[in-house]
Amino acid sequence: MEVTAKLENLNYKATLLPNLKEYGIDKFLSGELHETASFVLNHKGNRFGVSQWKSPKRTRTYPYARVYDTMALQTRITLIPFVKNEGFDGDQDYLQWDTVSLMSLLNVHVIIGYYRYAERNPDYENKITNHIMDYQYLREQIDELTDYKSSALHWNLNQLEKCQFVAEKAKENYGRISKELNIRLHSLDGIDKRIRMLKSNLQDFKKFSRKLSAEAQNREFQTLQPKENLIEKKAKLTVKNYLGGEYHFTIDELKVERDLLILMEKKNSKKAKYPNISDIKDGFVKLMLFTNLADIRIGSECYKNRSALGLTSSVFKGYCHNQMSDEEIEKVLKSNKLSPKQQKTVLSLFNEGRMNNFLIFLMGNSHPEYQNAMLAL
């Protein structure tokens, strides 16, 4: 099933925000923060919320959760590598246009970077690890941002205009790393292809990336991930916004009730009472979109929208949801022997759903009738 929708405004209140550590530009330039997922950067009188992607691929290392953690800062920056080549025995991923567009919708300033350093992975013949970006280049981009007066959208489009330079630097550095470490990497022809496309027409790059994004959507639509525990059927979702951008998503579960569509993001845990927080925050970013959709259609038929985040567990007994009172929720959590700290976490998650008008529930995944009962509320 395929769903189309429009997104004109994005209103969301993030509440599960950490107290990020603050650093100065010297610490940033040293590269010591390359493993720090999110932090506050003090620079030239500004406080930037900075998140770092470990790969340009959206489905790895919970990059949305990293961005989520910076939402309390007025100016948010996310650092994304143009390409990550892990070596012939590893993966190779490229930045997609839709990733940058999504960040624009979240009012996050993207800085597209390239890796300058890497180390040999001792467990493989042709694989590298510990990638570190060129932080001097990233600092130059941040310097520009301090004087930038336009929106994140325009900044991000300008970053795409600079992709040719970044792509060429990525190719240059990976060539050097391959020689220095005597390791076979994936072919750099993919970088050449993207450089040629960027030189000829940025629009071609956008179209090409959207094509890859749509192909990824098809793969995800056809694949059941081990961490998923689904009851309803998956669906494809294509969102258009006022920028002319298209976002290709897979809805984990779609339930159709007369003139109502219930769009669900699902997170599952096999061993814990509920999924890990990074996974849930990743789901919250999807809900930022789902709760703001308009003109939702299947074919030419319009539907009302209801959004839900379902948390399932193989070891949780019973169910609870954020339309219950805190007392009722606590009773279920105590019966599952959650610690006071865990109970507080779940209540905080449920409260975020209340504040943003979506259903969030926690249930044992062996009883699908629980979900049907909650969706009927």
What would the pLDDT profile of 328-347 be if each residue is shown by its tens digit? 999 999 999 999 999 999 99
State pTM to two decimals: 0.86
Give 322-363 as a DSSP string: TTS-HHHHHHHHHHTT--HHHHHHHHHHHHHHHHTT-EEEEE
Greatest distance between any 2 Cα atoms in the chain: 62
* Residue type at 333 in one-letter notation: L
First-to-final CA distance of the chain: 24
State the average pLDDT over residues 1-16. 90
Range name among 77-86, 130-139, 161-170 with the lowest pLDDT average: 161-170
pLDDT(4) > 80: yes
What is the distance between the alpha carbons of residues 251 and 240, in angstroms, rounded to a whole number? 15
83-109 average pLDDT score: 89
According to DSSP, the β-strands at 233-241 and 246-257 are antiparallel
- The CA distance from 309 to 358, in Å, is 8
What the block records as the tokens of 295 is 């003109």
CA 364 to chain centre: 26
Between CA 250 and CA 2 the distance in angstroms is 9
| Model confidence pLDDT, tens digit, residues 213-237 | 666 656 565 555 555 455 678 888 8
- Written as six digits, the tokens of 327 are 């007392």
Q: Has residue 30 got a pLDDT over 90?
A: yes
Helix axis angle for 152-161 and 97-105, nearest 10°, is 160
| The dihedral formed by the CA atoms of 277, 278, 279 and 283, expressed in degrees to the nearest 10 | 100
Rounded CA gap, 290 and 364, in Å? 24
Average per-residue pLDDT for the chain = 89
pLDDT score of 104 more than 70:
yes
Q: Would you report the helix, strand and coil content of the chain in percent, each value rounded to 5?
A: 40, 30, 35
Tell me how far CA of residue 28 lies from CA of 105, 115, 119, 355, in angstroms. Answer: 26, 15, 20, 35
CA proximity to 35, closest of 16, 21, 46: 21
- For the stretch 304-331, pLDDT in tens is 999 999 999 999 999 999 999 999 999 9
Complete DSSP assignment for 31-58: TTTTT-SEEEEEETTEEEEEEE-SSS-T
